[in-house]
Structure 1
Amino acid sequence: MAYCLSSNHPLARTLRDTARGEVAAALADLEKLPEEEAVHQLRKHCKKQRALLRLVRSEIGDLYRYENAHYRTLANALAGSRDAVSMRDALLALAPAGSYPQVQEFLEMRAHSQRDPGALEDTSALLQQGGERIGDWPLDRLQWKQARRGYRKYYRRAHRAMKVALAGEDPASFHEFRKRVKDHWYHSRLLEEKYKDAVVSRCQPLKELAQALGDWRDLRLLCRLLGEHSGELSGELIPLLDAAQERLDALRREIERLGRKLFADRKFSFDDD
């Protein structure tokens, strides 16, 4: 099922339908995908589910806190293995395979050692439990104006996070900006049918911005990890870190370009506001 709310149904119904679709897709990915890809897709489904809940967070209180914690815990159980794979993939995106054989072998071994098949197996039951609760979510009083309110709220949060990130240049602020961009991207996807004129043109550049922020984060994590193991990898480290810094600078410019374009205004207005 597409990650998009249907304008043909009341908000409560289409929220539940979309949430069920994410659970079903996550369970299918667990069954059919290789472990590494299943971990990646499962974490994405959890983030999308949490973003869906955030869209109406102000209206659902305790439900948001409970379900958000559920999907956050589920995703965090797989965070270590995913970060190890992301750093290996950051190296492969930076240079062709075999360019830095020592570093590549080190990262491959580390990614393998971080595997936790047991954690992946446990997620199926947790997903099913979450899916069974969706029918009981107390959403029936929700109206589309409340989804618009949530969209504007998370736009403002992304705008503020951008200002802090571009002023501070530290990994924590860039990570926060990335989280807020992903929320706003997912919210744009959810509302692109209902409010096509206002949000559909934002989806692709938001995806590109989220990707650039993710690449920046993974490369920074890689550089930090390699610095901690500099004695073991000294022969390849200096040229690799030079290449990484050049790529980081390019990503930083792309992040600022897209960010200032997408969040030029402090507030977001729908056509009928």
Structure 2
Amino acid sequence: MVYQLKRKLPLAKALRRTARREIAGALRDLQALPQEEAVHELRKHCKKMRALLRLVRADIGDLYRYENAHYRTLAGGLSGSRDAVSVRDALLALAPAERFPQILEFLEARARGQADADALEEAKTLLQQGGERIGDWPLETLKWKHARRGYRRSYRRAAKTMDKAFAERSAASFHEYRKRVKDQWYHTRLLQKKCRRALRGRRKPLKNLAQALGDWRDLALLRELVGRQGTQFRGELIPLLDAADERLDTLQQEIERLSRQLFTAKKFAFNGGS
């Protein structure tokens, strides 16, 4: 399913069309995928719905606040399960499974303990309720210029949180930066056909930057979680911390390189590329 606004439609129709496709895709994934994968995909669908609305948030007021809260609540009900899986996957990406068997067993048990089938049933209900409201979204006054303005706004927010993240270098600030980068990535995907010249060359680097920031956060959470266990993991703790620190340094260099490439200008200019 392509996450993209159809450029030949009025913006209101394009937004509703894409939103309905996201809801339909989320419901299909809930039906077809194993629980762990379904949680992951559902949270992605929620992020895409929120990014879609955030593109025009300045022009839809209360609609944005209501719907954003709805999909944030929906995804938040599954966050514990997904975070536990992400930390486990961070370990598997860092080293072969047999290198840290005690830590892997601990993380696997933690991920299993966070699984919640009831949360998926609640998510299904909330998705259906959200989908039923799309036809009533008051979007008729929107023009494509509002979407371009929203893109420029998300660029400014990403650049601002980038500066804060590099100044603080904390897990919280990098996590916030990642959210703003993902907005830019999603907005680039949404507008890629309508504004192809202006956005050329941004989609893949934004995706790579969001991935690097996500990997950095998950690895930092892994390091913190395992470090709190003290001597529980005999012979594995110090090697794990050393390997995590080395990988975190590499990721930070990649994050800085991509950030310089993507957010060098103070403002984003479309230059008529619409």
- TM-score w.r.t. the length of structure 2 is 0.98
Question: CA-to-partner distance for each residue in 1:199-237, whole Å, 9 max, x for gaps?
Answer: 131000000000000000000000110011123113210
Name whichever of 44-53 and 116-125 sits farther off. Answer: 116-125
Identity of aligned residues (%): 66
Contact 1:3 1:190 in 2 (8 A): yes
Q: Which residue is 2:160 aligned to?
A: 160
Q: Superposed, which structure 2 residues align to 1:43-192 within 5 Å?
A: 43-192=43-192
Counterpart secondary structure, 2:99: coil
* Alpha-carbon distance in 2 for matches of 1:235, 1:116: 33
What stretches of structure 2 of length at least 5 have no aligned partner? none
* Alpha-carbon distance in 1 for matches of 2:71, 2:214: 20
* Residue 68 of structure 1, CA deviation: 0.2
Q: Which residue is 1:38 aligned to?
A: 38
RMSD: 0.9
Q: Which residue is 1:233 aligned to?
A: 233
- Code of the residue aligned with 1:192 in structure 2: it is Q
* Alpha-carbon distance in 2 for matches of 1:58, 1:193: 22
* Alpha-carbon distance in 2 for matches of 1:104, 1:36: 17
* Residue 266 of structure 1, CA deviation: 1.1
Question: CA-to-partner distance for each residue in 1:165-219, whole Å, 9 max, x for gaps?
Answer: 1121111110110000000100000000000011131000000000000000000
- Code of the residue aligned with 2:182 in structure 1: it is K
- TM-score w.r.t. the length of structure 1 is 0.99
Contact 2:231 2:237 in 1 (8 A): no
- Code of the residue aligned with 2:87 in structure 1: it is M
* Alpha-carbon distance in 2 for matches of 1:259, 1:84: 28
Name whichever of 162-171 and 183-192 sits farther off. Answer: 162-171
- Code of the residue aligned with 1:47 in structure 2: it is K
Number of aligned residue pairs: 273
Contact 1:63 1:137 in 2 (8 A): yes
Contact 1:4 1:191 in 2 (8 A): yes
* Alpha-carbon distance in 1 for matches of 2:195, 2:90: 36
Counterpart secondary structure, 1:142: coil
Contact 1:188 1:200 in 2 (8 A): no
Q: Which residue is 1:198 aligned to?
A: 198
Question: CA-to-partner distance for each residue in 1:212-270, whole Å, 9 max, x for gaps?
Answer: 00000000000110011123113210001100000000000000000111001110000
- Code of the residue aligned with 2:258 in structure 1: it is L
What stretches of structure 1 of length at least 5 have no aligned partner? none
Contact 1:90 1:219 in 2 (8 A): yes
